């Protein structure tokens, strides 16, 4: 029995898996390490490569080398063959998502994480194994790839057509090679690419990183992709694109989108640096993103037997659909405005007491007026000792204010100095609050500065107090005269304009207990808004991922 097994194993010829020449960057590398880093062998473990080396399947300069730790030299020609443990793919029970099948073909949705067909080191759990169990008639075809006429990467999901008999396979294979098949993919990519684009760039082996493909002007094979941007999130971090490929190069979409600076989310091979930075910023989204977010959504071809035009659509799986919800701006950015003395700071303080991060423009200005701070330097350079007597003194705020009242041109000049610095601080504040559900910025001149148009907040809350009550509080608590209050008011929009330009108005009667209750109500209201927005985004995204929205489907007549 042992002799029979040995002979049976020896009777199966190993397949050539890699042939190449050692380059300068690999001088002195171990043979197993060199081979394991080759793109052609990336799906095999290093231990499997070592097993093949010890079995005598590795050649260096035409000689068998059986030691994995053998050191290779520049210019060495290295070959490695692999031997499957089985003589052919074996039937194996597994889940198949079948959309259509007849005597000639089966159309299905491949799940992410499933390899299409067996190969050395991946002999079980493939799509072919499952197909053989469901369709025994495939046993009479190719030993390892029965019925396979096109492939998807292991971690790419979506539509595939498989031939159930040899005649159908030949027809389909010819149609694929002659580009008579319409394939449209949906992808989630980093950043916001232009609305529409054509990527005509040859794809070949990466010149220095052998585990990757790349756009290679010399030696690459022509590759053409068209894409349309369907959606982009408000922060500019994520976009949904539809991609139609006119050629079928290895990793074509992944390479092309990376080439234009917008790699696919979840792709740890292409755009690795961007993916790593994104994962740190969005840990929850990164936990569910264990593959590249690429889905073969639409497939159109002629039936190999009847000639009928066959069209199929598959919406992306759940991990793809959930990602934009997890990626949506996690922080609801709220600006608080109001007339001087209306209670902006009081409301902000109540929210801060509930754990809400709060930004205060007035506090930032005070910091900027401190000795050596940015605004201090600008004022010192522009006006000398007019508002700063000594280098160790802060800005004379009272003297500056009086001068701004008397000289409108000076006021505008100072505002032009201060506002960009406060705006920069506000942007940094929002950036630091990206993982918060809610953050608040109290900025008295938010509306007047045009910051709403700059999208520096998601919504604006106006704290409003009746004029007489507000004037009494200004005079009683702050010692602000009626004339001075009128000056402060004149620098801002009117009370009516602020109310009408705001999303929410919080009425302040001056009663602290009532304001405490209104702060609680406001938090509940803001939470309900976040929930509604999430639901609306989910509905919008499902619509965008429907067949009705695919541009290349509409251009070819739809389903």
| Residues noted as catalytic | 153
H-helix or E-strand containing 490?
A: helix 482-490
Neighbour tally for 464: CB within 10 Å: 20
Pick from 397, 484, 404, 491: nearest CA to 444: 491
Phi, psi of 78 (to 5 degrees): -120, 135
Angle at 165 between CA 159 and CA 170, to 5 degrees: 75
Please measure the distance between the N-terminal and C-terminal CA atoms of the chain and give it in whole angstroms: 58
Is-contact 405 487, C-beta < 8 A?
yes
Q: What is the DSSP string of 359-400?
A: EEHHHHHHHHTSTTSHHHHHHHHHHTTSS-SSTTS---HHHH
Tokens coding 513: 């207990």
Strands 182-190 and 238-245: antiparallel
Which residues, listed in sequence order, are joined to residue 106 by a DSSP beta bridge? 101, 162
Q: How many helices (H) and strands (E) does the chain have?
A: 19, 20
Pick from 36, 34, 88: nearest CA to 60: 34
Strands 309-313 and 294-302: antiparallel
Strands 309-313 and 332-337: unpaired
The rounded distance, in Å, linking the Cα atoms of 360 and 368 is 13
Residue 365 CA: distances (Å) to CA of 241, 271, 419, 474: 43, 40, 9, 20
H-helix or E-strand containing 511?
A: none
> How far does CA 394 lie from the centroid of its chain?
45
Q: What is the DSSP string of 169-197?
A: HHHHHHHHHTT-SEEEEEEEEES---SEE
Residues with Cβ within 8 Å of residue 387, at least 6 apart in sequence: 379, 395, 396, 399, 400, 403
Is-contact 302 308, C-beta < 8 A?
yes
The rounded distance, in Å, linking the Cα atoms of 131 and 91 is 7
Phi, psi of 241 (to 5 degrees): -130, 150
């Amino acid at each position: 029995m042992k002799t029979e097994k040995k002979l049976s194993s020896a009777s199966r010829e190993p397949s050539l898996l890699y042939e190449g020449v050692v380059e300068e960057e690999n001088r002195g590398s171990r043979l197993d390490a060199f081979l394991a880093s080759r793109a052609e062998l990336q799906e095999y473990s290093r231990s499997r490569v070592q097993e093949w080396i010890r079995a005598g399947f590795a050649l260096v300069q035409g000689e068998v080398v059986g030691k994995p730790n053998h050191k290779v030299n520049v210019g060495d020609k290295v070959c490695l063959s692999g031997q499957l443990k089985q003589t052919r793919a074996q039937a194996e029970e597994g889940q198949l998502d079948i959309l259509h099948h007849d005597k000639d073909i089966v159309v299905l949705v491949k799940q992410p994480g499933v390899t299409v067909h067996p190969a050395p080191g991946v002999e079980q759990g493939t799509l072919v194994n499952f197909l053989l169990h469901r369709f025994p008639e495939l046993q009479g075809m190719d030993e390892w790839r029965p019925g396979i006429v096109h492939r998807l990467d292991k971690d790419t999901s979506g539509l595939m057509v498989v031939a159930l008999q040899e005649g159908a396979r030949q027809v389909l294979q010819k149609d694929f090679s002659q580009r008579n098949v319409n394939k449209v993919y949906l992808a989630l990519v980093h950043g916001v690419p232009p609305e529409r684009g054509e990527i005509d760039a040859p794809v070949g082996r990466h010149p220095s990183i052998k585990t990757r493909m790349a756009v290679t002007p010399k030696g690459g094979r022509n590759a053409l992709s068209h894409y349309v941007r369907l959606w982009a999130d408000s922060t500019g971090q994520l976009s949904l694109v539809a991609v139609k490929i006119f050629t079928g190069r290895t990793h074509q979409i992944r390479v092309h989108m990376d080439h234009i600076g917008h790699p696919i989310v979840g792709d740890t091979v292409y755009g690795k640096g961007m993916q790593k930075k994104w994962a740190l910023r969005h840990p929850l989204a990164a936990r569910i993103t264990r593959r590249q977010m690429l889905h073969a959504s639409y497939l159109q071809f002629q039936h190999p037997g009847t000639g009928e035009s066959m069209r199929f659509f598959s919406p992306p799986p759940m991990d793809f659909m959930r990602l934009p919800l997890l990626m949506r701006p996690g922080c609801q950015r709220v600006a608080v405005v109001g007339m001087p003395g209306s209670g902006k700071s009081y409301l902000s303080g109540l929210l801060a007491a509930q754990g809400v991060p709060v930004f205060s423009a007035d506090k930032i200005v005070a910091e900027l007026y401190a000795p050596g701070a940015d605004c201090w330097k600008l004022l010192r350079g522009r006006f000398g000792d007019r508002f700063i007597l000594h280098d160790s003194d802060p800005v004379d705020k009272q003297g500056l204010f009086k001068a701004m009242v008397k000289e409108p041109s000076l006021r505008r000049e100072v505002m032009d100095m201060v506002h960009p610095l406060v705006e920069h601080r506000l942007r940094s504040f929002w950036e630091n609050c990206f993982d918060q559900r809610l953050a608040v910025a109290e900025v008295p001149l938010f509306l007047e500065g045009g910051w709403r148009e700059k999208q520096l907040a998601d919504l604006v809350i106006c704290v409003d107090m009746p004029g007489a009550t507000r004037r009494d509080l200004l005079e009683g608590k702050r010692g602000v005269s009626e004339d001075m209050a009128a000056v402060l008011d004149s620098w801002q929009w009117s009370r009516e304009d602020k109310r009408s330009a705001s999303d929410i108005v919080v009425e302040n009667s001056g009663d602290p207990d009532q304001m405490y209750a209104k702060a609680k109500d406001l938090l509940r209201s803001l939470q309900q808004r976040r929930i509604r927005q999430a639901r609306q985004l989910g509905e919008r995204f499902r619509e965008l991922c429907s067949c009705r929205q695919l541009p290349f489907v509409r251009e070819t007549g739809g389903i």
